[in-house]
Structure 1
Amino acid sequence: MNWLELIAVLLGILSVWYARKEKIFVFPFGIANVSIYIYICFVARLYANAGINIVYLISNIFGWYMWSGRGGNQKLEITRNTSKQNIISWVSVVLIYVSVFFILRWVNKGDVEYLQSYLPWIDSFNTAFFLVATILMAVKKLENWLYWIIGDIISIPIFASQGLYFTSVQYTVFLILAILGWREWKAKLKSKRNSDE
């Protein structure tokens, strides 16, 4: 699986690179990346991550639609969450975490080794952050990068513990790109606000 993982890693890095640059190529590379990771995560018994990759596939299609201007009359601009949207985002992380955790326990109820490991806990946790990040990215909210950063930090050791070292390196690169993406999108937003005044 190493060659397949390496291809997925390269596609994923390209996708995040284009997201950081606010280029629509984020989506075709993202679609290819997550399609491969659905398989990789299932084989590695990271079932929540396999599930989130299915959601990523759908959100990449939705994001492509939104970013191409088909979701409205004009190009989607970077914006910040309101206080209410921030609360909704954090509550969503908690609700998704609890829901995914109990779904994993129910689906894998016969797999005692899996249930007694840390995987259901941590897999659910980073899945919750990534799901919220994906939704915020699709509508160009600056805060999406913060959720990616948290999820990336969690993912680095998870994938290494499953022997998916290329993927662990990928999440290290994602972490760096997410930090840069946060800074670049924040600067673009500030520049736009200054030019509007």
Structure 2
Amino acid sequence: MSLNTILEIISVIFGILYLTLMIRENIWCWIFGILASAITVYLYVHVTLYLEAGLNIYYILAGFYGWTYWYQHQNKEAISGKTNVPIRTWKLGNHVIAIVTSGILSVVLGIIMHQYTDSERPYIDATITVFSFVATYMEARKVLSTWHYWFLLNAASIFLQIDRGLYFFAILSVFYTIMSVYGFKRWKKTLISQSA
């Protein structure tokens, strides 16, 4: 088994821990997310998915932001690590702005990557990358509809990862896609209980 395959498996394990803890609103999710992303940066550069590598650098930074933001709202008495950051919703206008802006940036970035790099799938890579920036911000701020974004992004990532021979990452993306439905339901339940 090659070093890259071993690293991919380790990153997948950390990714599963990250998502499981994120769904449970546990602050420790951010540590596993940071570790998974650090390994993933190396692997994506190795298979010329440069924007995905850059996205994972952003995930590392967002992980530190998420950790800090959630830590400031953590229930200090809770051993579970659960935070007191409330689940939020976005108005339609926020989504329109996010989708239109991200769509335009995806096309521009795709063109740049197509013309100036050897990226194999520049437009898909650009779209997943740009929209993932938005979804990660929403996740850190605990916006309920982040799960809708992640469902679509993870489903799209499956193709990209299989295309580049990252089969363990593709399996992880299948898991993430399915768990996005569960994450939405769990956070929605929390949102309803907040309002009660």
Both proteins in one fold, TM over 0.5 = yes
Shift of 1:128: 2.0
Instruction: Give the conservation status (yes or no) of the 8 Å contact 1:129–1:150.
Output: no
Report the TM-score, using the length of structure 1 for normalisation.
0.88
Could you say which structure has the greater relative contact order, defined with CA pairs below 8 angstroms and 6 or more residues apart? Answer: 1
Instruction: Give the conservation status (yes or no) of the 8 Å contact 1:92–1:132.
Output: no
Number of corresponding residues: 185
Overall identity of the aligned pairs, in %:
30
After superposition, give the CA deviation of every residue in 1:110-140 in whole Å (9 maximum; x if it has no partner): x4xx4xx5x0011111112211110101111
After superposition, give the CA deviation of every residue in 1:148-182 in whole Å (9 maximum; x if it has no partner): 11110101111011111101001011111111101
Q: Does 1:83 align with 2:92?
A: yes
1:13 to 16, 29, 35: 16
Paired with 2:116 and 2:41, the residues of 1 have a C-alpha distance of 17
Partner of 2:107: 98
Unaligned 5+ segments in structure 2 are: 75-82
Report the TM-score, using the length of structure 2 for normalisation.
0.88
Instruction: Give the conservation status (yes or no) of the 8 Å contact 2:158–2:170.
Output: yes
One-letter amino acid matched to 2:110:
F
Paired with 2:116 and 2:27, the residues of 1 have a C-alpha distance of 36
Paired with 1:157 and 1:142, the residues of 2 have a C-alpha distance of 26
RMSD: 1.8
SS in 2 for 1:68: helix
Q: Does 1:67 align with 2:70?
A: yes
Counterparts of 1:107-186 in structure 2, within 5 Å, are: 107-108=116-117, 111=118, 114=119, 117=120, 119-186=121-188
Instruction: Give the conservation status (yes or no) of the 8 Å contact 2:90–2:145.
Output: yes
1:35 to 38, 41, 55: 38
